[in-house]
């Protein structure tokens, strides 16, 4: 089996699946082009994550990663939850196959996005994702599908492997295989 | 737990007759077929007998059969060997967009050597329109390669028609028939092809044993430079046991093919009919009738293929998928994209390919355990939630 017992356990019995209708924060990452899509919902009470729910479209690893991230972050302070790294997620699962490591990136990112969304709603920092904020500073950009950082001039996202091209309208990176731009919706090709 | 193997396209079990025929060549008959002594000669005879059997299965002559180590090798051999043999004539190739990687990557390799290629599109049912092939051919075209059957979506291509229009234009035509030979009747003369690839592991022969048919008179460069084996075009000591097993599997296929196809098709049709009844939002991929008899392929909306495969595997069911997550390269199947399916739908690819030993009870079991798997994964899927919300509006 390519997955560890722990991955299979979380895939078979994922913890905290679902939707929180009145969530305090929602974070979504990924796109079917990458293969995976995750949505995290959080409830915050006294600076702690009182409830976490997620929904995932994706492979076994993506489902297991979402599940374990929700478990790792439950009842933690926001600061503690923001410190959950991709490495820690993979480690907690007893390792992931090399080509599935990008799934572990998505899990923590989705949770962090939900926390950022909460902070924004509270009137805190502007609601930019980690990558978007870093990219704005460095004048590079992010993959529109998995939010991974894009190296200048690369035709492919190193995080989710999607082939990218520049949209002639808005000049942002979008999938070379789609008919419309992921940012501005204008027709490509 | 019940075990149900529905992954014919990955591998078929070895036919008992093939296994029996191979054993002496894994034991006492170890001689090199090229040796003149008494250890070599009976082995050479067995290899040549296997060549006759393979030839008979596809209505070819024995000297038109070249043994290879895989279907991929046969495709490399044909595409590179035929294109390079005619490079003085032109450097243009025509292939369909849904060819196997071994054809597409051979073409890429030739492109690095100055060749140009036109990819012919396919319909939503994964069928090539022969007129598109005709339009793609230029005076510089030295090879057309269109597969006979696609293993991911099962579609059968109009190869005879394509062969006819290629011949009228004097352009050699190769067809990758790996998924077809041994499973449906294949006659190289009736098809009118110049070259055809086949592989034993797709019709109950051993792995590592395949063949390329090349019509007499067609120019073909050697693929492995070496000794006199395979007419000097593919050097290296023969994989004798594998070749003998392939020959026996070919003979068995010639005898059993009609019965096998009839049985598989009846079961397949039931699966194609019943699965969409038990699971909503399922589409059949490929053509409903012009497809391999043992092949049923679907896209299940809102969920992903690997998660389905893992869940089925836990129930003892083996199937396959063209989703990005099941490929090491994390790329969704080029076949499904070429058919015009969007990424999300293609991610839900699921392929059931039946064996001769598959029984109605096996499919009953699949039809029983699969709907709850889909339900469980959809409950987790944000795409399904979105669909439910939108359909409520």
Q: At what angle do helices B71-85 and B101-111 cross, to 10 degrees?
A: 30
Which of B84, B134, B135 has the alpha carbon at shortest distance from B106?
B84
Same domain, A115 and A47: yes
Catalytic residue among A59, A103, A143, A146: A103
Same domain, A87 and A157: no
Give the pLDDT confidence of B298-317 residue by residue, as tens digits.
Answer: 999 999 999 999 999 999 99
B360 near A CB under 8 A? no
Per this entry, what is the length of chain B? 393
User: Which CATH topology does B16-253 take?
Assistant: 3.40.640
Domain of A144 in residue numbering reads as 138-175
Active site residue A34: yes
Q: Answer yes or no: is A181 within a domain.
A: no
> Which residues are within 8 A (CB) of B23 and not within 5 positions of it... i.e. 6 or more apart?
B241
Is residue B385 scored above 80 in pLDDT? yes
Same domain, A96 and A146: no
Give the pLDDT confidence of B16-68 residue by residue, as tens digits.
Answer: 999 999 999 999 999 999 999 999 999 999 999 999 999 999 999 999 999 99
Give the pLDDT confidence of B136-169 residue by residue, as tens digits.
Answer: 999 999 999 999 999 999 999 999 999 999 999 9
pLDDT band at A153 (very low <50, low <70, confident <90, very high): very low
Across residues A157-176, what is the average pLDDT? 63
**Are B307 and A11 in contact (CB < 8 Å)?**
yes
Same domain, A53 and A117: yes
Q: Answer yes or no: is A72 within a domain.
A: yes
Is residue A106 scored above 50 in pLDDT? yes
Q: Which of B382, B386, B389 to mutate to test the interface with A (most CBs of A within 10 A)?
A: B382
User: Chain A partners of B326 at a C-beta cutoff of 8 Å?
Assistant: 59
Instruction: Return the residue matching tokens 């339009």.
Output: B135
- What per-residue confidence (pLDDT) applies to A2? 85
Give the pLDDT confidence of B196-230 residue by residue, as tens digits.
Answer: 999 999 999 999 999 999 999 999 999 999 999 99
From edge to edge, which strands make up the β-sheet containing B282-284?
A: B282-284, B295-300, B349-353
Give the pLDDT confidence of B169-187 residue by residue, as tens digits.
Answer: 999 999 999 999 999 999 9
CATH 3.40.640.10: which residues of chain B? 16-253
B392 near A CB under 8 A? no
Q: Is the dihedral of CA B285, B286, B290, B293 positive or negative?
A: negative
Same domain, A13 and A103: yes
Same domain, A24 and A93: yes
Q: Which of A26, A29, A53, A59 to mutate to test the interface with B (most CBs of B within 10 A)?
A: A59
Number of domains in chain A: 2
A144/A149 Cα distance (integer angstroms) = 10
Same domain, A45 and A82: yes
CB atoms within 10 A of CB A127: 14
Structure tokens at B209: 């044993």
User: Chain A partners of B307 at a C-beta cutoff of 8 Å?
Assistant: 11, 58-60, 63
Q: Are strands A164-166 and A173-175 parallel, antiparallel or unpaired?
A: antiparallel
Give the pLDDT confidence of B74-127 residue by residue, as tens digits.
Answer: 999 999 999 999 999 999 999 999 999 999 999 999 999 999 999 999 999 999
Q: Which of the pair, B260 or A105, is modelled with greater confidence?
A: B260
Give the pLDDT confidence of B4-13 residue by residue, as tens digits.
Answer: 999 999 999 9
Minimal-distance CA residue of chain B relative to A31:
B344
Residue A11 Cα, gap to closest chain B Cα (Å): 8
Q: What is the DSSP letter of A34?
A: T
Residue in A11, A39, A99 nearest the CB of B330: A99
- What per-residue confidence (pLDDT) applies to B51? 98
Same domain, A14 and A101: yes
Structure tokens at B295: 């092949």
Active site residue A184: no
Q: Answer yes or no: is A14 within a domain.
A: yes
Percent of chain B with pLDDT over 70: 99
**Are B310 and A11 in contact (CB < 8 Å)?**
yes
Is residue A138 scored above 50 in pLDDT? no
Residue in A34, A55, A102 nearest the CB of B381: A55
- What per-residue confidence (pLDDT) applies to A140? 41
Interface confidence (ipTM) of the complex: 0.88
Same domain, A15 and A70: yes
CB pairs < 8 Å spanning A and B:
77
Give the pLDDT confidence of B352-367 residue by residue, as tens digits.
Answer: 999 999 999 999 999 9
Across residues B329-343, what is the average pLDDT? 89
User: Chain A partners of B343 at a C-beta cutoff of 8 Å?
Assistant: 31-33, 177
DSSP-assigned states of every residue in A106-158: HHHHHHHHHHHHHHHHTT-S----HHHHHHHHHT-EE-TTT--EE-TT-SB-T
- What per-residue confidence (pLDDT) applies to B175? 98
Give the pLDDT confidence of A36-65 residue by residue, as tens digits.
Answer: 899 999 999 999 999 999 999 999 999 999
B6/B256 Cα distance (integer angstroms) = 20
Same domain, A43 and A105: yes
- What per-residue confidence (pLDDT) applies to A139? 38
Helix or strand or coil: residue B273? helix
User: Which CATH topology does B4-9+257-392 take?
Assistant: 3.90.1150
Alpha-carbon distances of B169 from B120, B139, B144, B164, B273, rounded to whole Å? 17, 9, 11, 9, 42
Percent of chain B with pLDDT over 90: 96
B350 near A CB under 8 A? no
Q: What is the DSSP letter of B80?
A: H
Could you tell me the CATH number of the domain that includes residue A70? 3.90.1010.10
Same domain, A16 and A95: yes
Instruction: Return the residue matching tokens 């895939």.
Output: A11
B136/B130 Cα distance (integer angstroms) = 10
Q: Answer yes or no: is A106 within a domain.
A: yes
**Are B307 and A58 in contact (CB < 8 Å)?**
yes
- What per-residue confidence (pLDDT) applies to A186? 66
Same domain, A94 and A144: no
- What per-residue confidence (pLDDT) applies to A135? 46
Q: Answer yes or no: is A187 within a domain.
A: no
Helix or strand or coil: residue B31? coil
Q: Is the dihedral of CA B345, B346, B350, B356 positive or negative?
A: positive
**Are B347 and A56 in contact (CB < 8 Å)?**
no
Average pLDDT along chain A: 80
With beta carbons less than 8 A apart as the criterion, state whether B349 and B333 touch: yes
Helix or strand or coil: residue B160? helix
B73/A119 Cα distance (integer angstroms) = 58
CATH 3.90.1150.10: which residues of chain B? 4-9+257-392
**Are A177 and B344 in contact (CB < 8 Å)?**
no
Residue B309 Cα, gap to closest chain A Cα (Å): 9
């Amino acid at each position: 089996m390519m997955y560890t017992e722990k991955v299979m356990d979380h895939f078979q019995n994922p913890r905290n699946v679902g939707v929180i209708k009145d969530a305090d924060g929602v974070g979504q990452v990924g796109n079917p082009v990458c293969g995976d899509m995750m949505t995290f919902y959080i409830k915050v009470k006294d600076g702690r994550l009182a409830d976490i729910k997620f929904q995932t479209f994706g492979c076994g690893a993506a489902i297991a990663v979402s599940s374990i991230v929700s478990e790792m972050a439950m009842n933690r302070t926001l600061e503690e939850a923001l410190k959950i790294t991709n490495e820690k997620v993979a480690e907690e699962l007893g390792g992931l196959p090399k080509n599935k490591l990008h799934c572990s990136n998505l899990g923590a990112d989705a949770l962090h996005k939900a926390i950022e969304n909460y902070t924004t709603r509270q009137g805190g920092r502007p609601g930019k994702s980690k990558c978007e904020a870093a990219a704005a500073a460095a004048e590079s950009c992010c993959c529109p599908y998995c939010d991974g950082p894009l190296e200048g001039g690369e035709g492919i996202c190193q995080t989710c492997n999607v082939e990218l091209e520049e949209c002639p309208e808005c000049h942002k990176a979008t999938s070379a295989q789609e008919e419309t731009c992921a940012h501005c919706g204008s027709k490509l090709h | 737990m019940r075990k149900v193997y529905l992954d014919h396209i990955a591998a078929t079990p070895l036919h008992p007759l093939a296994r029996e025929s191979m054993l002496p060549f894994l034991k006492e008959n170890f001689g090199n077929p090229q040796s003149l002594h008494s250890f070599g000669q009976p082995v050479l005879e067995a290899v040549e007998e296997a060549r006759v059997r393979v030839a008979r299965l596809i209505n070819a002559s024995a000297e038109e059969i070249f043994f290879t180590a895989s279907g991929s090798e046969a495709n490399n051999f044909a595409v590179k060997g035929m294109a390079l043999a005619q490079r003085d004539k032109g450097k243009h190739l025509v292939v369909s967009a849904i060819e196997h990687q071994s054809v597409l990557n051979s073409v890429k390799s030739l492109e690095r050597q100055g060749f140009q290629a036109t990819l012919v599109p396919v319909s939503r049912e994964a069928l090539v329109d022969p007129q598109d092939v005709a339009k793609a051919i230029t005076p510089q075209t030295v090879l057309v390669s269109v597969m006979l059957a696609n293993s991911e979506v099962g579609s059968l291509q109009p190869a005879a028609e394509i062969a006819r229009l290629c011949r009228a234009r004097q352009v050699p035509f190769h067809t990758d028939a790996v998924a077809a030979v041994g499973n449906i009747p294949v006659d190289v003369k009736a098809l009118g092809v110049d070259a055809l690839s086949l592989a034993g592991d797709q019709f109950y022969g051993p792995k590592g044993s395949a063949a390329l048919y090349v019509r007499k008179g067609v120019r073909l460069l050697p693929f492995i430079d070496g000794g006199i084996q395979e007419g000097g075009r593919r050097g290296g000591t023969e994989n004798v046991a594998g070749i003998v097993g392939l020959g026996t599997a070919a003979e068995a296929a010639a005898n059993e093919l009609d019965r096998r196809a009839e049985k598989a098709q009846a079961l397949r049709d039931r699966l194609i009919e019943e699965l969409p009844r038990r699971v909503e939002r399922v589409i059949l991929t490929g053509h409903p009738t012009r497809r391999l008899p043992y092949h049923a392929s679907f896209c299940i909306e809102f969920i992903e293929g690997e998660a389905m495969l893992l869940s089925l595997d836990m129930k003892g069911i083996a199937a396959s998928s063209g989703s990005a997550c099941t490929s090491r390269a994390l790329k969704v199947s080029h076949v499904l994209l070429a058919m015009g399916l969007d990424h999300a739908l293609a991610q839900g690819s699921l392929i059931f390919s039946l064996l001769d030993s598959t029984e109605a009870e096996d499919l009953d079991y699949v039809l029983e355990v699969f709907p709850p798997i889909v339900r469980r994964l959809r409950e987790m899927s944000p795409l399904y939630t979105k669909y439910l919300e939108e359909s409520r509006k």
